[in-house]
Structure 1
């Protein structure tokens, strides 16, 4: 199906049958049989795999009948990946084929065909027993009805969206001004110049591509593990436990901290009318987590003996709610110690590197 992504209208000659999957030969035919009916200067194509589909599209078009060929040299043709699907693509696709980074597309998300099929999926139960002709006519009736309803409700929809857009546009304009105040004017001017050059000629460097390699938690763990491997090879390793190195100690401690938070969140969401099965699962998780924390704390004393006095003033073991007690257990990472408390600098550096990478991962997920 080929839809108008801006208005979600069903276009003529835009629906066809597939033999197996979305083969290019089917998609190309539907696209060109649709757009050749419109005398437009600009075409914006939104497709889940536009980053691959657009390659050699004009070569494939040259093998089609003359009536289906688009004079693309006299048109402005741009390709996009819909906003919901683009997050599953690589970083290069997320900038080169993004609606967000392109002038003149408004807030179009490109997901019109997906929403369209969501509305018509219920028709499948009746059409699957029809012959080809009856099925086509039946679908055409539904598509025509959808277009008619869209036209009748267009004034209400446009008014609602316009009011929302005006309010949000002003809010975003103020946010942009505040953000630009934090940037050096020369750097901001240079970025605007690069953006204008890229808008004029897409072959130039994309200013939206990140120039900084993100620091991930997995990459930092690998780097620290390689450093420990080098220490072992050069016989300079000073680990105090044969199986738990400083990296493993801090890394497993961070994992335990995450488990504490997840357990507390699950308990809070369980409600007062939890079933015995839910309570049993929580109790089993509490027992397993308690054992892991106890084992970790025993090894922690080898590297951080000063935490022994801190634990004596920690949470009480008499807490009635086991889950709440586990949540309140302080693991006493190096960053949580007071300035006067002695601590190995290796542990401090390992925790800093892991926390920094953990923060980067969290920001990338936002």
Structure 2
């Protein structure tokens, strides 16, 4: 606004030169100011890169151990694809061919199934269903991952809101899995006992799938919590789809 009034009395050529100098100064200042945030951005990028690298290496090692034939098949598929010229993505290993249910569709399916109790025909509140409990846990884990990556958000009110949700989750957890601590391993119990000393973004929830021993998992919840496997698969498929889009 000030430059508009200041250049109003100038001739057309002088106004053009003045505005050009002003814009050039602002561009130069932005370039110079970059050094103030470059170190901070580099630190954030290094931290995020290490998190992604650790997650990928853990996933890769587990996959090579449990399904080596599948891994070799994928590698050969990618090598064959890269060795030929293609006009479309028909044979692309990065395109999903099969139609799968999205995470939203799985949630809606579980919600509909939970509206009526099996064999009783009695409506139940959505907050009291096992599927709602599982969805809450997955949503909390997703928020925790985002808080871990975005360092600036750690000191924001989101941490307080997340802590409240975790406390609500703990109450439901004791309802569906009475005394869940006794079903955990020694290392997991230590994490459980010291969660008050940790930041909210690293508190472990310990869903049913986190109980490593199959026998203990059965004793913890004999009938199981319906939908966790489907939701985990849907979550993984969405993450894989996002990964494909970035390739």
TM-score by length of 1: 0.36
Match of 1:245 among 106, 125, 129: 129
Larger Rg over CA atoms: 1
Distance 1:349 1:364 in 2: 24
CA contact (8 A) 2:137 2:205 kept: yes
Match of 1:332 among 186, 206, 213: 206
Distance 1:215 1:307 in 2: 31
Q: How does 1:87-106 map to 2 (within 5 A)?
A: none
Distance 1:238 1:304 in 2: 22
Whether 2:165 is the aligned partner of 1:288: answer no
Distance 1:330 1:176 in 2: 35
> Deviation digits for residues 274-305 of structure 1, max 9, x if unmatched?
xxxx77xx252222111110111101111111
Structure 1 stretches of 4+ with a deviation exceeding 6 A read 206-209
Distance 2:220 2:206 in 1: 11
Q: Does the C-alpha gap of structure 1 residues 235 and 312 become closer, same or farther in structure 2, counting only changes over 3 Å?
A: same
Q: Which residue of 2 aligns with 1:357?
A: 234
SS of corresponding position for 2:166 = helix
Distance 1:233 1:325 in 2: 40
| Structure 1: unaligned runs, 5 residues or longer | 1-125, 127-174, 184-195, 271-277
> Deviation digits for residues 279-337 of structure 1, max 9, x if unmatched?
7xx25222211111011110111111131445864142563xxxx43233221111111
Higher share of residues assigned helix: 2
Whether 2:128 is the aligned partner of 1:235: answer no
Distance 1:300 1:236 in 2: 25
CA contact (8 A) 2:131 2:225 kept: no
> Deviation digits for residues 2-40 of structure 1, max 9, x if unmatched?
xxxxxxxxxxxxxxxxxxxxxxxxxxxxxxxxxxxxxxx
Q: Which residue of 1 aligns with 2:101?
A: 215
Q: How does 1:99-114 map to 2 (within 5 A)?
A: none
SS of corresponding position for 2:233 = helix
Aligned length: 161
Q: Which residue of 1 aligns with 2:180?
A: 307
> Deviation digits for residues 141-187 of structure 1, max 9, x if unmatched?
xxxxxxxxxxxxxxxxxxxxxxxxxxxxxxxxxx999424999xxxx
SS of corresponding position for 1:286 = helix
| Structure 2: unaligned runs, 5 residues or longer | 1-15, 17-71, 81-85
RMSD between aligned alpha carbons? 4.1
CA contact (8 A) 1:260 1:326 kept: yes
Q: Which residue of 1 aligns with 2:30?
A: none
Distance 1:227 1:344 in 2: 19
Whether 2:142 is the aligned partner of 1:258: answer yes
Q: Which residue of 1 aligns with 2:194?
A: 316
> Deviation digits for residues 164-211 of structure 1, max 9, x if unmatched?
xxxxxxxxxxx999424999xxxxxxxxxxxx9xx8xx9xxx677865
CA contact (8 A) 1:246 1:347 kept: no
